[in-house]
């Protein structure tokens, strides 16, 4: 089951993370209440909690990044646990060491922080903070290939800009990426940059949720 807000998410026209994000639920309180009945709100709550965690990794600082407002600010971007040539490995605590064996994927689940640990329901800020959503778009190196949506991102903040997100300032912005991946069958492009095939994408998401729940239930039954 989806709420009216999630059914209206324009997957084909989501802004990128550095752009002004789109409003989702009107407050953190509303998102917490809706996640009990809406499947996507539940995922967004989880992704919002993951966005509050500093997971470490290779960090790149870029100065003079121009934002839609026209201002240029410093950005901090978390890239991966390995540098591009796979020799240096970063840990969660910020330490970096030489790792000569072949790079190994980090298959651990993202670390989740309950948003209530940052924004208790008893504090006034809880009613002012709200989720803002954006997309992660893949740009093909080949010509005439439209952008493809590969992730749905969320940040908690008081306004649509990246500067207004929790943990960011007007002078320094951290780009966290997306924790929710959008995947489709091989060879089938269900989403184009102009918003076509949105209905097909939504049906794919609902079908995936149904499959996941069934697989999870079978796993629980199989446990001793």
Rounded to whole angstroms, the Cα distance separating 66 from 85 reads: 28
pLDDT tens across 23-40, in order?
999 999 999 999 999 988
Helix 39-51 and helix 198-222, axial crossing angle in degrees, nearest 10: 80
pLDDT the model gives residue 180: 85
For residues 14 and 149, the answer to whether their CB atoms sit within 8 Å is yes
% of the chain surpassing 90 pLDDT: 20
Q: Which two tokens stand for residue 150?
A: 């590969």
Q: How far apart are CA 95 and CA 86, in angstroms?
A: 16
The answer to whether 173 and 75 are in contact (CB under 8 A) is yes
Q: So what's the pLDDT on residue 190? A: 43
> Closest by alpha carbon to 131, among 148, 99, 153?
153
Closest by CA to 119, choosing from 136, 131, 135, 132, is: 131
pLDDT tens, residue by residue, 115-138? 988 888 887 777 789 999 999 888
Tokens of 15: 């802004």
For 152-193, how does the pLDDT look when each residue is reduced to its tens digit (9 = 90+)?
999 999 999 988 998 888 877 777 788 888 765 555 444 333
Residue 5: pLDDT band with limits 50, 70, 90: very high
């Amino acid at each position: 089951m989806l709420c009216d807000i999630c059914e209206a998410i324009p997957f084909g026209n989501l802004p990128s993370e550095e752009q002004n994000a789109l409003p989702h639920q009107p407050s953190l309180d509303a998102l917490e209440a809706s996640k009990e009945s809406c499947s996507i709100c539940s995922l967004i709550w989880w992704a919002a909690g993951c966005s509050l965690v500093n997971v470490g990794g290779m960090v790149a600082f870029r100065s003079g990044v121009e934002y839609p407002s026209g201002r240029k600010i410093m950005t901090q971007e978390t890239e991966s646990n390995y540098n591009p040539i796979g020799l240096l490995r970063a840990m969660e605590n910020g330490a970096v060491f030489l790792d000569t064996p072949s790079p190994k994927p980090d298959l651990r689940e993202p670390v989740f922080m309950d948003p209530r640990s940052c924004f208790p329901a008893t504090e006034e800020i809880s009613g002012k903070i709200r989720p803002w959503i954006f997309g992660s778009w893949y740009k093909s190196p080949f010509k005439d290939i439209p952008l493809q949506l590969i992730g749905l991102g969320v940040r908690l903040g008081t306004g649509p800009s990246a500067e207004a997100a929790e943990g960011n300032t007007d002078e320094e912005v951290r780009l966290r990426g997306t924790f929710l991946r959008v995947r489709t069958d091989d060879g089938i492009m269900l989403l184009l940059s102009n918003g076509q095939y949105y209905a097909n994408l939504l049906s794919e998401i609902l079908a995936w949720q149904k499959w996941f729940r069934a697989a999870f239930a079978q796993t629980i039954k199989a446990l001793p």
